[in-house]
A and B are shown apart, each in its own frame.
Chain A
Amino acid sequence: MTDMKVEDYRERRVELAGWPVNLTTYRLGEVYHTKADNVSPGAALARTTGATAEEAEKKAIERAEQMLARTRVQKAEG
């Protein structure tokens, strides 16, 4: 089957490695999909799947934390 309805769509905001992150999760068929993006400016950090929403979100959070930990913050004068 190639056509599916988007179901169980949900969004929530968490803080990871000191940065606000938006988690979007939904189900397509039997698979849950999660996308983690940094809230500002909204760039995608991770896209994961799982048999449950919790599993998909856990994977996305782990991957996003790894990426965000690399962000260097400098002092901005002015």
Chain B
Amino acid sequence: MANYAHPETLVSTDWVAQHASDANVRIVEVDVDTKAYDEGHVPGAIGWAWNSQLCDTVRRDILPKDKLEELLASSGISNNTTVVIYGDNNNWFAAWALWQLKIYGHNDVRLMNGGRKKWLAEGREVSTEVPKPSRASYHATGPDNALRAFLPQVQAALDAGNYKLVDVRSPQEFTGEILAPPGLPETCQRGGHIPTARSIPWGKACNDDGTFKSADELLALYGGEGVDGSNPVIAYCRIGERSSHTWFVLKYLLGFNRVQNYDGSWTEWGNLVGAPVERGQAASTAKA
């Protein structure tokens, strides 16, 4: 696929249509809007809710290892299953789910290129039937925290100056004009961005049909902002799902080795007392 560094991490809608019922394949839908799955999904796909099944529901964190093992086992997924994830908003939370599966060491997990949008736009079949897969056995490894940035690492990276910080939110969130995507709840006390961050909105990595742009286009997009893989990269957004989309692009489509998703993101940084904040467009050169 389009000369990507790791083309094995993407499948097309055609591939899903042909392989969704294969014994060793499990299709999973993960949406921002958790009602979307109920409306109709890829036949045979199971649905995971990001806000109850893919996070710790007590403290702010990703899913603990034992809960992830339980989720996968109850979803009929073993360590050898090919997991294909897709979702709305061009795979926002699908990428979030893939990121977590990689943190816990699942080898073969892929995104359906174009996500739910492309499947619907192509006039394909959807189902309201919820599959009941036979229980499997699953043993996670990790967590591999090399894929994840925590606040102290971001602060250290800022001090060291050798990291590339990529803010993937909208330009208005980056400048501080708005504190959340239009229409969504504000989750921070201050607007702006982490000093030195480059503004490269996540959606710039996608074509109109929801698929990812070619490797050459992606290299030009990120390289034009000085993000070329020669420095470690930390991507962030508001709560970490849009940045997991960019994390996927940088790590698997472009093959950058050192890419971390800062899932604390602006909801954490924008609420810190005394944290440095930059406002305005000074560092923003990627226009919407």
Which residues 19-52 in A have Cβ within 8 Å of B in the complex? 19, 24, 26, 28, 33, 35, 37-38, 40-45, 47
* 22 pairs of residues in contact across A and B, judged by CB atoms under 8 Å: A3-B129, A4-B128, A6-B123, A9-B120, A9-B123, A37-B89, A38-B181, A40-B170, A40-B201, A41-B201, A44-B88, A68-B183, A70-B183, A72-B179, A73-B177, A74-B177, A74-B178, A74-B191, A76-B172, A76-B176, A76-B191, A78-B280
Q: Looking at the assembled complex, report how far the CB atom of A64 sits from the nearest CB atom of chain B, in whole angstroms.
A: 7
Q: What does DSSP make chain B's interface, helix, strand, loop or mixed?
A: loop
Q: Of B126, B170, B183, B184, which contacts A28 at CB under 8 A?
A: B126
A43 near B175 with CB under 8 A, answer no
A62 within 8 A of B: no
Q: Of A2, A6, A26, A38, which contacts B183 at CB under 8 A?
A: A38
Q: Looking at the assembled complex, report how far the CB atom of A25 sits from the nearest CB atom of chain B, in whole angstroms.
A: 10
B282 near A78 with CB under 8 A, answer yes
What are the residues of chain A within 8 A of B240 when measuring CB–CB?
none
List A residues at the B interface (Cβ < 8 Å).
Answer: 2-7, 9, 11, 19, 24, 26, 28, 33, 35, 37-38, 40-45, 47, 64, 67-68, 70-78
How many chain B residues touch A (CB < 8 A): the figure is 51
B164 within 8 A of A: no
What are the residues of chain A within 8 A of B40 when measuring CB–CB?
4, 6, 28
